[in-house]
Chains A and B, each alone.
Chain A
Amino acid sequence: MITLLPSSSLPPSEAAVADRQPAARIRPSGAGPRRVFVTGKGGVGKTTVACATAVWAADQGLRTLLVTTDPAAHIGNVLEAPVGDGVAPVEGVRNLWAVRIDAKVTTAAYIQAVLDEASLRMGAEGIARLREELASPCTEEVAVFQRFLDLLLADAYEVVVFDTAPTGHTLRLLELPLSYERQLQAKVWTSEESRAVDAAQTERMRCAFEVMRDGTRTSFVLVVYPERTPIAEAGRAWGELDGLGIRTAFVVCNQILPEEALSNAFFRRRRSMQLEHLESIGATFPGVPVLPLGQRTGDVRGLDALRDLAWELYGEASIQDRSNERRKAGG
């Protein structure tokens, strides 16, 4: 297995090597809980990587919370254990708790709150437009992240893994001094109460940003697969976060063809193409470690499959061992 690392003319110091190991970016580094955001476009494998990461952390003896936005039926199948709307232990894994945030319900509540407030000063036509604008996917991101904030800022767990992450756009929106609702009232914004609410929100976001920008406390893990469009899109997403001072801890490149698939020239050529894309990921994300993850025959289900995946990502081989493997493989 090849692990691609940023090129360097000097051998990395031991401390730098230990720091770059993905496992080190999942464990807490001593300054409170480790938050892990797994980010990437739909269909790349975020939920699978998030679940495997959470199970792995729990298996290391770390008190771990998995926060998921996936539909209940699917996450239940992945973990082969039910996950509900309240924090509860996950059957079959010590040290692991999970909570499911229903994105649709959360978004509907958020939209209703905005519309209720707006109806105090808008006519029917304005409300109709506002309702349609609020139907955008961006609203869901804002609403879900607002729910995440409490879990992000809490300290009851050693590791908290989120199976989705806010985009740069969502974060910039929330960072601005006026929340969406408030700027509707911009011309009449004089009440103490509304200023107090906004000040509390601003403070929450400031704390959240401090946590997210601190690489010792938060890891953003970007999942892609080895094709041009997903890599380009991920590159843009990474650039947005980078512009906010949020670094990517490592990239997971999913769907890599395993050895057993290479029985004919067709798959050998595809694998070759995938390796070229893997190399290009290094150029798209300078300085960010890239981990290949093998394609499976179907959806990942059950703890055995998740632990197998986690071993591929976080197995404790040192970076030096992996470099040796790569040299032996002629890479």
Chain B
Amino acid sequence: MARQLLFSGKGGVGKTTLACATAVRFAQAGLRTLVVTTDPASNVSDVFEQPIGEGPVPIRGLNGLFAAELDAESALRAYKARALAPLEGVLPEDVLRSLDEQMSGPCTSEIAAFDQFVARIDDQGFDRVVFDTAPTGHTLRLLELPGAWVTHIDAVAAVGGQTCLGPADALAASREQYERALESLRSPRSTAVILVTQAERTAIEETERAHAEMVSLGIAPRMAVMNGRIPAEVADNAFARARRAMQDEQIAELSRRVPIPIVEVPLLDSDVTGIKTLERLGDHLAPLLELAAV
């Protein structure tokens, strides 16, 4: 029985809506639940139709449901500042500019966000915690390397420029915190990772890749969710029937590529906003809820 759920998948597949829908069900079952997002555009405030902020803030209309936004942009700024400050005057100006740019990409943003996220794993203040994102294998492997935790400035300078990680003592979390977090991610009693995808070629290829990568790190994703499934009852024209048949094939293809159950979640006729709409999605999420013994 997992206390925390992580939703993994490429941008736009529906991680945030599914995370929120699952959290609504947990809260309705009487579990004190927190939704955590690191999305810089934070869809969670749109989905719940209220401002969120660093939080945790209570969600209006449902007792026991809370949300928190980890501010990824300020985490990145702080991370870069910590990384580069010790190198001012040690490395030439143009190298520093190069380092700053090296650390301005999506990978470093992810490391900075994960650094904050590590603090939230196994948060005992809640019965269930749902994350609408998951670290990539790349992030986890980088942080696993011994060099990630070196704090000696000379060692850093000798290694010279870095890409995603940056000079090491920028990490705010300790090695111990990181190892506990990784252990939690690997333990089915603590965490369930769910891969979210859609019936589209590159999404499925990405899902297969993410699955293999996580397995190689000792994290076993438990389920895949195929989002955006055309309901049979609306496939009353040739176009919709053809697309639904194509989705059938994509689901079969996915099941050949990943050895985990696939849950289908239907396409809705509107954007998902508000608790009522989230409840409609929740009707289809029973297998996910079972992972967390609900």
Contacts and interface: CB of A to CB of B under 8 A. Distances in A.
B94 A263 contact: no
Interface string A231-270: 0110000000000000000000000001011011111011
Contacts of A261: 237, 239-240
Given A176-B97, A176-B98, A297-B246, A132 B145 contact: yes
B163 interface: yes
Contact of A186 (B10, B145, B161): B161
Interface residues of B, number: 55
B54 interface: no
B254 to A, nearest CB: 14
Contacts of B145: 125, 128-129, 132
Nearest to B92: A186
A178 B163 contact: no
B125 interface: no
Contact of A269 (B12, B161, B270): B270
A42 B202 contact: yes
For the complex, would chain A's binding face be called helix, strand, loop or mixed by DSSP majority?
helix
A138 B94 CA distance: 20
B280 interface: no
A315 interface: no
A293 to B, nearest CB: 15
A169 B106 contact: yes
B287 interface: no
Nearest to A277: B271
Given A42-B202, A43-B203, A176-B94, A270 B142 contact: no
Interface stretch (A80-88, A205-213, A222-230): A222-230
Contact of B206 (A42, A186, A187, A230): A42
A128 B236 CA distance: 56
Contacts of B16: 229
A322 interface: no
Nearest to A46: B202
Contact of A184 (B94, B161, B202, B240): B161
- Indicate the size class of the contact surface on chain A: 35 or more
Given A128-B147, A227-B12, A266-B234, A172 B104 contact: yes
B101 A169 contact: yes
A187 B246 CA distance: 57
Interface in A131-190: 132-139, 169, 172-173, 176-178, 180, 183-187
A32 interface: no
Contacts of A270: 267, 269-270
A211 to B, nearest CB: 21
A94 interface: no
Interface string B227-259: 000010010111110110010000000000000
Contacts of A173: 98, 101-102, 105
B148 interface: yes
A186 B12 contact: no
Contact of B243 (A43, A265, A273, A297): A297
Interface string B104-146: 1111000000000000000000000000000000100110011
> Which 10 residue pairs are nearest across A and B when measured between Cβ atoms?
A297-B242, A263-B237, A269-B269, A129-B147, A43-B202, A266-B234, A183-B161, A133-B163, A229-B12, A42-B202
Interface of A: 41-43, 74, 121-122, 125-126, 128-130, 132-139, 169, 172-173, 176-178, 180, 183-187, 225, 227-230, 232-233, 258, 260-261, 263-267, 269-270, 273, 295, 297-299
10 contacts: A125-B147, A128-B147, A132-B142, A229-B16, A229-B43, A260-B238, A266-B269, A267-B240, A297-B239, A297-B243
